[in-house]
Amino acid sequence: MTRIEFMQGNVASAEGALAAGCTFFAGYPITPSTEVAEHMAAKLPKRGGVFIQMEDEIASIAAVIGASWTGARAMTATSGPGFSLMMENIGYAVMTETPCVIVNIQRGGPSTGQPTMSAQADMLQCRFGSHGDYSIIALAPASVQEMYELTAEAFNLADRFRVPVFVMADEIVGHMRERIEIPESVPVVGRRPLEPGMLPFRPGEDLVPGFPRFGSGFGVHVTGLTHDERGYPCATSPKVHEDLVKRLVEKVESKRHEIADYRVTNPDAEIVFVTYGSPARSVEQAIHDNPGLDIGHLRFRVVWPFPEKALGEFRNARAFIVPEQNLGQMAREIERHTRVPVIRLPRFGGALHTPEELVAAVEGVR
Amino acid sequence: MTFSDWLRVDRLPHIYCAGCGNGTVINCTLSAVDQMGWKKEETVFVSGIGCSSRAPGYIVTDSLHTTHGRALAFATGIKLANPSLNVVVFTGDGDLAAIGGNHFIHACRRNIDITVVCMNNMIYGMTGGQGSPTTPRMALSTTTPYGSVEPAFDLCELAIAAGANYVSRWTSYHVKELTRAILAGLRTPGLSFIEALVQCPTNYGRRNRYRQAIDQIEYFKEHGMLVEKARRLREEGKEIPPDTIILGELARRNRPAMGVKA
């Protein structure tokens, strides 16, 4: 039975993870993500899971990756500075095709910045922050309900594609409290195990190899070095490296339209807001308050891989307005995929766009 | 079964230089693991980056060759998520004591039930012979061309102070003792730390007056002193030469541990 609760976003994220079968959490306290860890610390041991507070964020993501190789659904939660520290090991997770979930409750940066204020300033870091070419999946919740749903879904995507999956929330959705409907269960699609006799890094038709869980007798060697399909280091062959890295990118990018998840409001509109996360709420309020204004709204729940086809849903679009809690990180990506003018509407420093300034922006375009 | 049954023969020959001491430590470790009667599918080897850290790649069990300095953090995740797995970490002095120093301290503090074998060659071998936290004072390296001016870390003292349950030091000369020490470490619940001093003829030896690999092994033999003798000499008020290598079992205790198999 669906349960109605009044819950904080960070807690909802932890609850979504638990519903998805997360049994391992390693983390390091950092504002404004800490409630995710605190909730997991309270809940996981009672369910036979493991919570550990590591010595830093580098160790946290390392422990998550180690736990994932035992077959556990494993996650961590952090914010900007901790996220930066995790980047080398996130690249390791990409290279070794380790499923894991990283929740980033974004705060203002650069550096220590604004620990208690909201931002969406790590959107490019999650896509490009580690070294080398790769692709990942990132989700962007805009409500407490979505903190729950998208964190749970992140585990399914991580297992299916064997990549790190990011829940790129902002402080506003992390710390707000609102009504949430908790379903009896959430869909759980785990990783496909490696079949006996198969090579551990030979991909199937979907470009994703089966998973050889530690302790199941495969004797698999896992390395961050460029490796062949046996998993053996092969760091000096241009062909092996090219084949591997192309596949790591393709296994996600070739499914971008399947992974895509967005909401369309008023597809006939000429002026369209494109949002993800908290700014979506101001846009919804502006639409609600101004029914005669004829504005459209495209809201991404998945931001990476970038669902560029979504822009095509608005055939009459004359302008895309992109309110973001940064200087235009996703607006740049939207510009790459449309000939329609893209208007950046940055509002950062912690304040959220007001419906009034959004309406003013629409008037400015007209 | 013998230790050689644990080797991933299709990956041989290994990448180690002629005369390297790491092979000796791998053999001693596998002998000890073999004597434990562990099953291959229940055993995981973990490492960071460096010459020592290539060792798991030559062993047939599940193995994780991770990022520089972070092996203990990865191993912590494996052991806590599945305590029924036996986890052994290979590491080197640069990997463990420099970039991984904080993870080392905290793994010892948690006293997590893994065995750490440190191949200490007192140099960064894989990157061509730069100074490390265990490079002795006045030793030559590419980054200490006039002799190292930094005091060196005593990794065993560090492990003891941080809380490890078992700590022992030997060298590549003392193969029987080293094997026994690793075996004792594998049997001890909690974190076991075994430091093995090894010769690095290519990058340490040739810059520091050891003309052949055997010369540095001779040095270990001549400068090694059992911890019991060192204690006796201290009690008698006698001086212990500063270049003495204290060998033997330095700590064995039963502090509360994490990740111990139920």
pLDDT score at B210: 96
Taking the C-alpha atoms of residue A329 and residue A313, their distance in angstroms, rounded to an integer, is: 22
User: For a pLDDT cut of 90, what percent of chain B falls above it?
Assistant: 97
Res B128: pLDDT:
96
SS (H, E, C) chain A: CCEEEEEEHHHHHHHHHHHCCCCEEEECCCCCCHHHHHHHHHHCHHHCCEEEECCCHHHHHHHHHHHHHCCCCEEEEECHHHHHHHHHHHHHHHHHCCCEEEEEEEEECCCCCEEEEECCCCHHHHHHCCCCCCCCEEECCCCHHHHHHHHHHHHHHHHHHCCEEEEEEEHHHHHCEEEEEECCCCCCCCCCECCCCCCCCCCCCCCCCCECCCCCCCCCEEECCCECCCCCECCCCHHHHHHHHHHHHHHHHCCHHHHCCEEEECCCCCEEEEECCCHHHHHHHHHHHCHHHCEEEEEECEEECCCHHHHHHCCCCCEEEEEECCCCHHHHHHHCCCCCCEEEEECCCCCCCCHHHHHHHHHHHC
- Cβ atoms within 10 Å, residue A363: 9
Contact B76 A217 (CB under 8 A): no
pLDDT-based confidence at A205, cuts 50/70/90? confident
Mean pLDDT (chain B) is 97
B interface mutation test: which of A70, A89, A199 has the most B CBs within 10 A? A70
Largest CA distance in chain A: 66
Strands A319-324 and A271-275: parallel
Pairing assessment for the beta strands B245-252 and B166-171 based on DSSP bridges: antiparallel
Which A-chain residues 248-307 have CB contacts (< 8 A) with chain B?
none
Q: Which of A23, A67, A215 lies closest to B42 in CB terms?
A: A215
pLDDT computed for residue A286 by the predictor: 97
Q: pLDDT-derived band of residue A342, with 50, 70 and 90 as boundaries?
A: very high
Percent of chain B past pLDDT 70, that is, above it, reads: 100
Query: In this complex, which of B41, B73, B106 lies closest to A215 when CB atoms are compared?
Result: B41
Chain A partners within 8 Å of B63 (Cβ): 220-222
Q: What's the confidence (pLDDT) of residue A309?
A: 95
CB contact under 8 A, A219 and B41: yes
Asked whether the beta carbons of residue B81 and residue A219 sit closer than 8 angstroms, the reply is no
For residue B151, is pLDDT > 90? yes
Complex-level ipTM beyond the 0.95 threshold? yes
The answer to whether A311 and A294 are in contact (CB under 8 A) is no
**CA-angle at A122, arms to A120 and A124, nearest 5°:** 115
State the pLDDT confidence band at B2, using cuts at 50, 70 and 90: confident
Q: Has residue A310 got a pLDDT over 80?
A: yes
- The verdict on a CB contact (< 8 Å) between A70 and B81 is yes
Average pLDDT over residues A97-125: 98
Residue A336, pLDDT > 80, answer yes
Min Cα–Cα distance to chain B from A90, Å: 10
Determine the straight-line distance between the first and last CA of chain B, rounded to whole angstroms. 27
Choose the mutation target among A64, A223, A228 for the interface with B, i.e. most B CBs under 10 Å. A223
Contact residues, chain A, for B42 at CB < 8 Å: 215
Q: In B, which residues are within 8 Å of A64 by CB distance?
A: 77
Looking at the complex, report in whole angstroms how far the Cα of residue A55 sits from the nearest Cα belonging to chain B. Answer: 7
pLDDT score, position B262: 80
| Closest partner CB to A232 (pick from B11, B77, B78) | B11
Indicate if the pLDDT at residue B1 is higher than 80: no
Q: CB A26 to CB B61 under 8 A?
A: no
According to DSSP, the residues that pair with A321 across neighbouring strands are: A273, A343
Q: Which residue of A has its CA nearest to B81?
A: A67
CB contact under 8 A, B44 and A215: yes
B49 CA to chain A: closest CA distance, Å? 10
**CB A69 to CB B62 under 8 A?**
yes
Sign of CA dihedral A226, A227, A232, A236: negative
Mean pLDDT of chain A: 97
* Res A94 pLDDT > 90: yes
Structural tokens at position A150: 């998208």
In B, minimum Cα distance to A72 occurs at B81
Task: Identify the band that residue A238 occupies on the pLDDT scale cut at 50, 70 and 90.
Answer: very high
Per-residue confidence at A324, pLDDT binned at 50, 70, 90?
Answer: very high
Whole-number Å distance between alpha carbons of B88 and B173: 22
Q: What chain A residue is nearest to B258 in terms of C-alpha separation?
A: A52
Q: Given an 8 Å threshold on Cβ–Cβ distance, is A215 in contact with B65?
A: no
Q: Where are the alpha helices (DSSP H) in chain B?
A: 22-36, 71-81, 93, 101-110, 155-162, 175-187, 213-223, 227-235
Binary contact (A64, B80; C-beta < 8 A): no
Contact B78 A219 (CB under 8 A): no
* Identity of the residue numbered A179: R
Identify the pLDDT of residue B166: 98
Q: How many residues does chain A have?
A: 366
CA nearest B82 in A: which residue?
A70
Tens of pLDDT, residue by residue over B184-212, are 999 999 999 999 999 999 999 999 999 99
A23 touches chain B (CB under 8 A): yes
The residues with which B226 forms a beta bridge, in sequence order, are B247
Q: What is the pLDDT of residues A167-183, one digit of tens each?
A: 999 999 999 999 999 99
* Whole-number pLDDT of residue A354: 97
Instruction: Say if residue B229's pLDDT is above 80.
Output: yes
For B44, the closest of A68, A214, A217 (CB atoms) is: A214
Q: Which residues of B have a CB under 8 Å from any CB of A?
A: 8, 11, 40-42, 44, 46, 56-57, 60-67, 70, 73-82, 84-85, 102-103, 105-106
- Predicted local distance difference test score (pLDDT) of residue A211: 98
Q: What is the mean pLDDT of residues A200-211?
A: 95
Give the pLDDT of residue B50.
97
Question: B3: pLDDT confidence band, cut at 50, 70 and 90?
Answer: confident
Rounded to whole angstroms, how far apart are CA atoms A9 and A176?
6
| Per-residue pLDDT band at A360 (split at 50, 70, 90) | very high
| pLDDT over 90 (residue A366) | no
Question: Residues of A numbered 27-56 whose beta carbons fall under 8 angstroms of chain B's beta carbons: which are they?
Answer: 50, 52, 54-56
Q: How confident is the model at residue A198 (pLDDT cuts 50, 70, 90)?
A: very high
Which of B6, B67, B72, B79 is best to mutate for the A interface (most A CBs within 10 A)? B67
* pLDDT(A1) > 90: no
Mean pLDDT, rounded, for A19-27: 98
With tokens 């490796």, the residue in question is: A227
- pLDDT for A351: 93
Residue A204 pLDDT level (bands cut at 50, 70, 90):
confident
